[in-house]
């Protein structure tokens, strides 16, 4: 490739072979759930998320789910989807991520305009924080309403999954045993509410941080634990120096790997 032929990203399959966006769209149609793993501030991630649902929707009905929207926001979100409140009221009634307007509003509004269900899938962060401070036991004295905002307890948990082990190592033993549990309650809750809102006539496209579905762990692991027959496709995003040179470390990290130029502008 000539130096003049700059491109911001390149798609690869799980084995590290170059593939195309067209093939990704074609494959996604055959799955019950697509877990689109993003880097939260990556402009290419967000653009391809929009393009994926725009292209998929030409042939398929969709359900859209978001890690970035929490279960205690679901009721207000539904009022927005129904046209009962506007964006300003949604903002005032429900605390959104700082990059909501640029990165997620276009996806939510696409769902609204096309009358596709939009689902808040994540546990409220204050409840995940309880787990981080006190383990799963900290959820035992929560209210029934709070229990409705999370996966049914007790959740299955495998502390030996490589992603969770890595988290504990990163903490260096300082309360590290609860960090993967806090991650697991998010993963389990997202999987639970994806399954709750499945429609066999639709493809469920879920937007989450890549670490929630990389290496077929996290939310993917819980989806398969709760409903083994589900067909789940995973996508991940990585930044690299040369988008055309596949990094061997990414083999089988996901079904599709998006390598984005590390110089690409971030959204924050």
pLDDT at 14 over 50: yes
The whole-angstrom separation of Cα 100 and Cα 105 is: 6
The whole-angstrom separation of Cα 151 and Cα 174 is: 27
In a domain, 249, yes or no: yes
The whole-angstrom separation of Cα 70 and Cα 19 is: 34
Read off the CATH number of the domain in which 225 is found. 3.40.50.11550
The whole-angstrom separation of Cα 36 and Cα 213 is: 8
Predicted confidence (pLDDT) per residue in 209-252, tens digit: 999 999 999 999 999 999 999 999 999 999 999 999 999 999 99
If one counts the domains in the chain, the total is 1
In a domain, 168, yes or no: no
Q: Is 128 exposed, middle or buried (0-12, 13-18, 19+ CB in 10 A)?
A: buried
129-165 as b/e: b if 16+ CB within 10 A: ebbbeeebebbeeeeeebeebbbeeebeeeeebebbe
Residue 241 belongs to domain spanning = 12-124+199-261
Token pair of 129, please? Answer: 């924080």
In a domain, 142, yes or no: no
In a domain, 5, yes or no: no
User: 30 phi and psi, to 5 degrees?
Assistant: -90, 5
The whole-angstrom separation of Cα 126 and Cα 104 is: 21
23-56 as b/e: b if 16+ CB within 10 A: ebbeebeebbbbbbbbbbebbbbbebbeebbebb
pTM of this prediction?
0.96
Predicted confidence (pLDDT) per residue in 117-166, tens digit: 999 999 999 999 999 999 999 999 999 999 999 999 999 999 999 999 99
């Amino acid at each position: 490739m000539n130096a003049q032929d700059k491109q911001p990203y390149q798609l690869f399959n799980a084995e590290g072979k170059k593939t195309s966006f067209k093939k990704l769209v074609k494959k996604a149609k055959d799955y019950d759930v697509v877990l689109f793993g993003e880097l939260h501030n990556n402009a290419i991630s967000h653009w391809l998320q929009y393009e994926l649902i725009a292209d998929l929707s030409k042939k398929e009905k969709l359900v859209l789910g978001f890690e970035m929207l929490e279960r205690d926001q679901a009721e207000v979100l539904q009022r927005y989807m129904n046209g009962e409140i506007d964006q300003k009221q949604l903002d005032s009634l429900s605390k959104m991520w700082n990059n909501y307007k640029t990165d997620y509003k276009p996806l939510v509004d696409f769902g609204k305009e096309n009358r596709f269900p939009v689902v808040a899938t994540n546990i409220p962060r204050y409840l995940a924080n309880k787990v981080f401070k006190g383990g799963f036991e900290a959820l035992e004295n929560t209210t029934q309403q709070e229990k409705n905002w999370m996966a049914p307890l007790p959740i299955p948990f495998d502390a030996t999954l490589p992603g969770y082990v890595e988290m504990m190592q990163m903490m260096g033993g300082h309360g590290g045993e609860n960090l993967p549990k806090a991650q697991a309650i998010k993963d389990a809750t997202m999987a639970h509410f994806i399954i709750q809102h499945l429609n066999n006539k639709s493809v469920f496209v879920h937007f989450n941080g890549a670490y929630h579905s990389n290496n077929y762990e996290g939310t993917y692991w819980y989806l398969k634990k709760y409903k083994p027959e589900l067909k789940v496709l995973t996508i991940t995003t990585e930044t690299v120096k040369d988008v055309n040179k596949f990094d061997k470390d990414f083999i089988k990290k996901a079904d599709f790997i998006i390598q984005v130029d590390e110089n690409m502008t971030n959204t924050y």
